[in-house]
Amino acid sequence: MTIREIIKLLDATVCTGEGRLDEEVETAFASDLMSDVLTLKDTPMLVTGLCNIQTIRTCDMASLDIILVVRNKKVTEDMIELAEDDDMVILSCAYSMFKACGLLYQNGIKPLY
Amino acid sequence: MHQEYTVIEGDFVNAGKASSSVKKTLKQLNVDPGKVKRVVVALYEAEVNAIAHAYGGKVLVDIDSDKIRMVVADKGPGIPDIALAMQEGYSTARPEVRDMGFGAGMGLPNMQKNVDKLNVTSEVGVGTTVEMEVNF
């Protein structure tokens, strides 16, 4: 799926990364535990309910650059600023982690494990 | 090339700044992206540990043509049992550390997985020093 299709599917908004919406997403990983994200060898889209500056830093370190924040958590200006430095995409949706992941899986996004 | 950074106790807003800066340097030096990821993940884990558990410390980085050496030295409570701390899942993290998405007892084991050489020394009541090397 493209990021644009994901936005439509999840009724999501774009916090940053408007220029990358036609890129394809093949895999996703859902976690609020950044320690777990730091163990990933691949670079999936991150689906998370953890919404703070360390979410962005962790993704930077783990080379993940597409983040979907669920449950309408407030993505702050400092998060957006840091994400822009690394050309990341941050999406935000109101759906629960479970519903967002269910819809993504149903529409062909693959898990890592 | 030598770089030094200061880590401040409880300063989660800036946790990862040293790692981020090292990442930029290594990218400029055209180091293999897989190696860069291993370096910065390990360093970030160590940085978060120093901020979460200690009263501040220093990050010292030396980059040569064939390897990077990183030392994260903190002043803090120290680790009474290093073998226990190396076990995955063992954690003494406070709730605010867990709120930031850490504190699951995965830091030291993940450092071990990402570096070629890891040495942890600690003195209770004085501090902990984590030395890491990754070969390019």
Query: Which of B3, B37, B42 has the alpha carbon at shortest distance from B21?
Result: B3
Encode pLDDT of A31-57 as tens digits: 999 999 999 999 999 999 999 999 999
Query: What are the structural domains, with CATH classification, of chain B?
Result: 2-135 (3.30.565.10)
pLDDT at position B65 is 94
pLDDT at position A99 is 98
pLDDT at position B96 is 87
Residue of chain B with shortest Cα separation from A50:
B101
With a pLDDT cut of 90, the percent of chain A lying above it is 100
Which residue in the block uniquely carries the two structure tokens 């004085």? B126
Helix axes A77-85, A53-61, angle to 10 degrees: 20
Question: Which chain A residues touch B45 with a CB distance below 8 Å?
Answer: 35, 38
Asked if pLDDT for residue A14 goes beyond 90, the answer is: yes
**Which one-letter amino acid corresponds to residue A91?**
L
Cβ contact A54–B23 (<8 Å): no
**Domain extent for A49:** 3-111
Q: pLDDT of chain B along its 136 residues, tens only?
A: 999 999 998 888 889 999 999 999 999 999 999 999 999 999 999 999 999 999 989 999 999 999 999 999 999 999 999 999 999 999 999 888 998 899 899 999 999 999 999 999 999 999 999 999 999 9
Cβ contact A36–B12 (<8 Å): no
**What is the total count of domains within chain A?**
1
Coil, strand or helix at B121: strand
| CA-CA-CA-CA dihedral for A40, A42, A46, A49, to nearest 10 | -10
Q: For residue B132, give both structure tokens.
A: 């890491």
Task: Name the minimum distance, in Å, from the CA of B124 to any CA of chain A.
Answer: 25
Cβ contact B16–A61 (<8 Å): yes
pLDDT at position A77 is 96
Q: Give ∠ CA B104-B69-A34 in degrees, rounded to 5.
A: 20
CATH number of the domain residue A41 falls in: 3.40.1390.20
> How many CB pairs below 8 Å do chains A and B form together?
65
Question: Which chain A residues touch B113 with a CB distance below 8 Å?
Answer: 39
Cβ contact B103–A35 (<8 Å): yes
Cβ contact B101–A34 (<8 Å): yes
